[in-house]
A and B are shown apart, each in its own frame.
Chain A
Amino acid sequence: MRSLTSRFSWRKNNKLNNHDEKPKLIESTPGGLRLLLISIGLLTLTALPHFGHLRIEIMIVFLALVGYRCLAAKYRNLPRNRWVIYLSATIGFSISAWFYGPPFGRDPGVAFLVVLLGLKSLEITSRRDVSIVIMLGFFTIMTQFLYADGVSWTIPMIILVGGLMWLLAQMEHAEPQTFMLGDIKLVGKMFLQALPVVVILFYLFPRLSGSLFLFQGDGNSGVTGLGDSLKMGSISSLVESEEVAFVASFFDQEPPPPSERYWRGTNFWVTDGREWSRGGHGVHLISKERTIVEKKYTYEIELQPNNQNWLFALDHPGQAPKNAWLQGDHHIINKEPVKSEIRYELDAVSFDDSEQLLAAEERLGLDLGKTEITPRLQKLVDSFTDQAPSSIAIANRALQYFNQNEFVYSLSPPLLDSNAPVDEFMFESQTGFCGHYASSFATMMRQADIPARIVVGYLGGDYNPRSNQIVVRQSHAHAWTEIWQEGQGWIRVDPTAAVAPERIESSIDLNGSTGNNGQVLFSSLNLTGFKKFITEAIWIKDSIKAKWNRWFINFDRDRQQELLRSLGLGNLDFRYITIFAFLLALTIITMVSLLIFRREKKPLDATTQLSLLFDKKMMSMGLARGKSEGPRDFQLRAVKAFPSQKSELKDISNQLIRLRYRMQGSSEEVSHRADTNQLVQLKKAIKSLNIKP
């Protein structure tokens, strides 16, 4: 009996001697305090971006918890027992539940996670506790990407992952402080090793559509774009924004010339004299059968969210993309408002002249509603229609009128506050931008019994030859008109062109100065010197950004499908998923077996490695060492062959000989540090040998 108990009792003692059973307080271990503070710092960084979406109360709870842990590391008598932890858990989770409810769904889940991360940081006692908190840290970083603004955090967060991996490695050391740099190198190496896996999985891992759970993301708000009505003056605020509306890629095709870059958004049919709008759904749902004469362009658009349910297209879209419908007036209606970036492919085509004017089009296209037509406006319209042979002739007279009178294109026109804004614009202010010209022109055409409509969208775009893309910004917003000409159909008339033809050929240069009286200067395409360099730089930046968007941000199921087809891997269907899983398993098995069954090489010692390196170097100089040639003979031969490098060669081979043939266990072998340094020096010397025969 006694013998048994005594054995157990020393077992117990042994337990205490070993580090496993009773974990040491991390800050009491050598270098532990620094590790603890670095861990808490990095963990705080993982939660930091959530300041943007979580309630400030949650972040305060988090910071208080990690802050208390830091203080406890400095003031060791601060209580950190289980009661403190229970209390903080109760308070923390109550606050999270108070503001967010139970932790289901994204925001409540993230709030819960951040509080949990804080609590787990507070709980850190041993090094092993840090490992578990780092796992939570990874998860917290992940939740960042469930938000729309998470994309911009991608690169900082990848660096943070490196930091956390470094911490994990540090935790596994007996003496972490001597390996701080070594572990950074190791993590770098692991990132390089991970890279091919990341690329392959990112592009080839089957992307399943739709959500696999029921809870879904919350929508985003606060987007800019064209409104669904046009009041005189409303577009001017857009024109001042450099924000990208969409990017059109033309792949290997020539892009359309600037004068053809009319990107239709929607058509405004209904007016009350001041405001133009789309009108009821009736007009838009009409579709027409048209015969396509020519397919002019095929392009792809990456549309930024604009909260409208129309898609932009170069005139005239041949067909609608998926989940959208092409309307009779050539505008495309999307199934739902565009709340996140979408991508679609379109053809631009031209139709034949056989278009028929529908009764509804005629009715709406002539309806002026409550528009007040003043006598002088009526007189002006009459002068246009007088003995005119066609609608086009009337329109041309109107355009001439704009052109020959003192009309000014300006982004800051005077306010039109009378009851008849068209009249006021035509005869008094005569200053405005596209919206003014388009709505006055359309009003006059309707008054002249010509069906007319306003088209809103974008005109132009910055062509980037590097990526063969046109970047369309909010500053390219434009409004123009279309009128009905019997025998030709709806034809585009841009009255702004009559006043400021430069607006059509080039875009407004916001960086350049605005002329006197708010007149806009248009940027010219003939750039020289520094300006050209800047433009070039912007092109490169944009093309990189376009590639980034194309291959990272917008890489989705459709694009994966394209990629798979181009790689000859077939469709993204069940068969592909099976094949992918099979290939993945095969790759892993192959990798593992390569590791296990690769031909066993006796590990070479450092001296042999260096000798081989030296031989290889000499071989590249054309001097091969004989199979049974000793190092002395080889040295003699080498020196003879390259007398110019005599001293270096002699030095290196002498060192190699000394390393190889020194006495085992002699005093030379005792100092390993010196050994390592010598080896490293020698390796450098061999590598830097540069012999010209």
Chain B
Amino acid sequence: MSLFPESGVDAPSGRIWDWLQSLTRTVETESNGVRVVRPKQVYIFPTRYGFLYCIMLIAMLFGSNNYGSNPGFLFTFLLTGLGLAALFQTWKNLVGLQLSSARSSPVFCGQPARFEVTVKNVDTVHKAGISCYPWKNKFFMSKAIDLPALEEGTLVINKPTASRGQMLLGKVCLTTRYPLGLLRSWVYIQFDESCLVYPSIGEVAEGFDYAQDNQSAKSSTKVDGDDFAGHKTYQDGDNVMHVDWKAVARGKGWNLKHFEDQKGEEIWLHWGATSGLEFEQRISALTKAVVQLEKAGKSYGLSIPGEKLQPSSGANHQHLCLKALALFQA
């Protein structure tokens, strides 16, 4: 649980921590789809500078007392008062903010998912220095935004993706240090929106054992033609289906198996063609194929268990293919 976002340390996990986290207050989505930061939901804690400031105040208090200096006392207490005012202002800087739902567009696995949230300041006083990060991932702190009175801005939340499918944005920490940087206030916001994560592009593990017989090699090529005619060096944009994976595995570099009969305008990507690979790698291989075929302007179809997309091309078709691959379950 990251009660203290300043520490930058990711939260420990465990039953107790989860239980504690379940006690924390979270901004929920209201019936009209807007999330409003309520006063009770804001947490606040001093930053490093805040602690330094406190130590300094104590030193000043001792100094004033030692030298019996009334201006010294006044000054010390003024800074104390301003620190307390900062406590109020830092808290107030988040209260009342209205957040829209998070918008996102699909990304490939491994790239960060990018969510956009519109933040509206309904107060007649400006708010500033507001940024956020996905919970437990302070590393992905967004760029800060300033919000003049009654205006709105957009926060971009990046969240790392580790697997394909729908990725929930989930809990987000909205945080600020404005005005003095001595304190950090934050709220937890629950986002139920998710981002579609396409499978990662063709990352094939090294040293996998390709099918033992030629038949499987054949099966992988049946969409195009039958007659193996020799090798050709792999270039970006070439059909990965033609890569001589066996050779790659032996460390001979990326070469294409060249086939005579490549006139077919419609290319079919068959699930069965990747049978030698692990499950996730099969999906990756097909994903890479989709991307490359689309890039090459070819017309392609996808056939995986439970889903069959007729050959076509274009961004939407690619999206449908990739989505099917992203959501494909064994």
Contact = CB atoms under 8 A, between A and B. Distances in A.
Interface stretch (A25-33, A168-176, A395-403): A168-176
Contact of A211 (B65, B89, B179): B65
A173 B129 contact: yes
A146 B74 contact: no
Contacts of A596: 39-40
Interface string A572-615: 00000000000000000000000111101011011000000000
B143 A18 contact: yes
Contacts of A172: 128-129, 176-181
Contacts of B178: 169, 172-173
Contact of A169 (B69, B96, B180): B180
A182 B81 contact: no
Given A154-B71, A169-B179, A175 B146 contact: yes
B70 to A, nearest CB: 6
Contact of A190 (B85, B91, B110): B85
Interface string B70-85: 1111111111111011
A672 B82 CA distance: 33
A14 B77 contact: no
Contacts of A179: 126, 128, 146, 148
A672 B150 contact: yes
Given A19-B143, A145-B64, A600-B40, A168 B74 contact: no
Interface in A210-229: 211-213, 215-217
Interface in A169-201: 169, 171-175, 178-179, 182-183, 186-187, 189-191, 193-198, 201
Interface string A131-148: 110010011011101100
B76 A595 contact: no
Nearest to B40: A596
A173 B146 contact: yes
Contacts of B112: 10, 14
Contacts of A207: 65, 73
A202 B75 contact: no
Interface in B67-117: 67-82, 84-86, 88-89, 91, 95-96, 110-112
A171 B181 contact: yes
B70 A194 contact: no
A662 interface: no
Contacts of B125: 186
B174 to A, nearest CB: 15
Contacts of A1: 206
A169 B71 CA distance: 25
A517 interface: no
Interface in B127-148: 128-129, 139-146, 148
A7 interface: yes
B85 A194 contact: yes
A549 to B, nearest CB: 10
A165 B81 CA distance: 12
A190 B84 CA distance: 9
Given A158-B78, A202-B74, A174 B179 contact: no
A362 to B, nearest CB: 44
B66 A197 contact: no
Interface stretch (B52-60, B306-314, B320-328): B52-60
A679 interface: yes
B168 interface: no
B149 A676 contact: yes
Interface stretch (A76-84, A433-441, A493-501, A551-559): A551-559
Contacts of B63: 142-143, 146
A493 B128 CA distance: 76
Contact of B82 (A161, A175, A211, A597): A161
Interface string A282-293: 000000000000
A161 B152 contact: no
Interface in B24-76: 36, 38-40, 49, 52-53, 56, 59-60, 62-76
A595 B80 CA distance: 19
A606 B150 contact: yes
A38 interface: no
A19 B133 CA distance: 13
B62 A212 contact: yes
A146 B72 contact: yes
B240 to A, nearest CB: 16
A556 to B, nearest CB: 7
A174 B146 contact: yes
Contact of B84 (A151, A174, A189, A194): A194
A202 B61 CA distance: 11
A126 to B, nearest CB: 12
Contacts of A208: 65
A157 interface: yes
A182 B123 CA distance: 14
B11 interface: no
A554 B64 CA distance: 13
A20 B145 contact: no
Interface string A521-564: 00000000000000000000000000000001111100000000
A205 interface: yes
A508 to B, nearest CB: 34
Contacts of B91: 595
A198 B86 CA distance: 14
A566 B39 CA distance: 40
Contacts of B36: 602-603
A212 B52 contact: no
Contacts of B123: 603
Interface string A649-682: 0000000000000000000000011011001000
A198 B70 contact: no
A3 interface: yes
A620 interface: no
A169 B151 CA distance: 19
B245 to A, nearest CB: 15
B203 interface: yes
Contact of A672 (B38, B89, B152): B152
A555 B111 contact: no
B122 interface: yes
B143 A135 contact: no
Q: Which of A132, A174, A602 is most buried by chain B, counting CB atoms within 10 A of its CB?
A: A174
Given A146-B63, A172-B129, A191 B74 contact: no
A74 interface: no
B128 A174 contact: yes
A3 B72 contact: no
A34 interface: no
A189 B124 CA distance: 14
A150 interface: yes
A384 B60 CA distance: 67
Nearest to A146: B67
Contact of A168 (B162, B179, B203): B179
A201 B79 CA distance: 11
A194 B85 CA distance: 6
A135 B53 contact: yes
Contact of B76 (A10, A142, A211, A679): A142
A178 B64 CA distance: 38
A20 B5 CA distance: 14
A631 B129 CA distance: 39
Contacts of B38: 600
A10 B78 contact: no
Given A10-B111, A168-B180, A595 B88 contact: yes
A363 interface: no
Given A174-B129, A182-B126, A596-B40, 16 more contacts: A2-B206, A6-B110, A139-B60, A146-B72, A153-B71, A165-B82, A172-B128, A179-B126, A182-B148, A186-B89, A194-B81, A194-B82, A197-B84, A554-B70, A595-B39, A672-B151
21 contacts: A18-B141, A18-B143, A106-B67, A142-B72, A145-B64, A153-B71, A154-B71, A172-B177, A172-B181, A174-B129, A179-B126, A183-B179, A187-B179, A197-B77, A201-B81, A202-B77, A207-B65, A211-B66, A212-B66, A603-B95, A676-B151
In order of increasing CB-CB distance, the 3 nearest A-B pairs are: A194-B81, A197-B81, A145-B72
